[in-house]
Structure 1
Amino acid sequence: MNADKLTEAAAKGDTERVQFLLENGIAPNAVNRFGRTAIQVMMMGNTRIAQLLLLYGANPNISDSSTGLTPVHDAAREGFLDTVKMLVRNYANTNVRDGRDLLPIDLARENGHKDVIAYLESNNV
């Protein structure tokens, strides 16, 4: 399944493979056998993969059906400021609550990611 190839490459942080697959017509929002898209499973610290997926039309606001988490929730929770910024620049909604009724900034607070908290507060996003 093509979506599985893309999500696997994104999860591994294999930028070259992600680019190759996108250039060869794999849809960025295709769902893998686990019901996830590449932007949901990507290596959150790899902003180049985020950039590629977004460039090819990945939806930055897709939410996990069981947890309600979006990619910006995941990036904020893990403290990946550059990825948070990339997602926000590409219209990720930071005012969406997850299944625990938490915003991305709340997850950053839970995990002590002060730089992410400061960015989300200062940009009022």
Structure 2
Amino acid sequence: MGAGGDQDLPHQMANAAARGDLRTVRTLLESGLDPNAANLFGRTAIQVMMMGSPQMAELLLQGGADPNLPDPATGLLPAHDAAREGFLDTLRVLRRGGARFDLRDKRGRRPLDLAEEAGHHHVARYLREVSG
């Protein structure tokens, strides 16, 4: 395929996921696009999705997205980002989709650590409960 072509599709899906554009992401998934394909910056749609959209997380997970692929630069997982931003509903969806909350980023932090640093006590409480 020539320059651009199919290489642009993962970038389009990541951009749509970041905007919370469920319709575009659904269309791309239904067309057979690999939900774990990296965009031009090496990130997948679930890594850059609108964290405040549990519906987006659900759609990507149902489409086969891996919630445990780390960001290539930081080692952050979607659970880290959702915990840091205080999105409990998204964390719940990620957990149902197989996200691990015990994995650490490149600085050695777990999602629980980021939730505590950001003062999201309700999220930290949830992460402690589900982590045993």
Q: State the TM-score, normalized to the length of structure 2.
A: 0.91
Secondary structure at the aligned position of 1:19 is classed as helix
The number of aligned residues is: 125
How many Å separate the matches in 2 of 1:68 and 1:37? 13
- The structural deviation recorded for 1:55 is 0.2
Secondary structure at the aligned position of 2:109 is classed as coil
- The structural deviation recorded for 1:66 is 1.6
Q: Determine the structure 2 residue equivalent to 1:80.
A: 87
Per-residue CA deviations over 1:7-53 (Å, capped at 9, x if unaligned) read 01001111111111111111100111110100000000111111010
Q: State the TM-score, normalized to the length of structure 1.
A: 0.96
Letter paired with 1:92: A
1:116 equivalent to 2:123? Answer yes
Alignment of 1:27-46 (within 5 A): 27-46=34-53
Letter paired with 1:59: D
How many Å separate the matches in 1 of 2:131 and 2:77? 18
Alignment of 1:21-100 (within 5 A): 21-100=28-107
How many Å separate the matches in 2 of 1:33 and 1:65? 12
Secondary structure at the aligned position of 1:29 is classed as coil
Q: Determine the structure 1 residue equivalent to 2:4.
A: none
Letter paired with 2:19: K
Q: Which residues of structure 2 form unaligned runs of 5+?
A: 1-7
Letter paired with 2:29: L
Letter paired with 2:14: T
How many Å separate the matches in 2 of 1:93 and 1:114? 19
Q: Percent identity?
A: 53
Q: Determine the structure 2 residue equivalent to 1:14.
A: 21
Q: Which residues of structure 1 form unaligned runs of 5+?
A: none
Q: 2:68–2:77: 8 Å Cα contact kept in structure 1?
A: yes
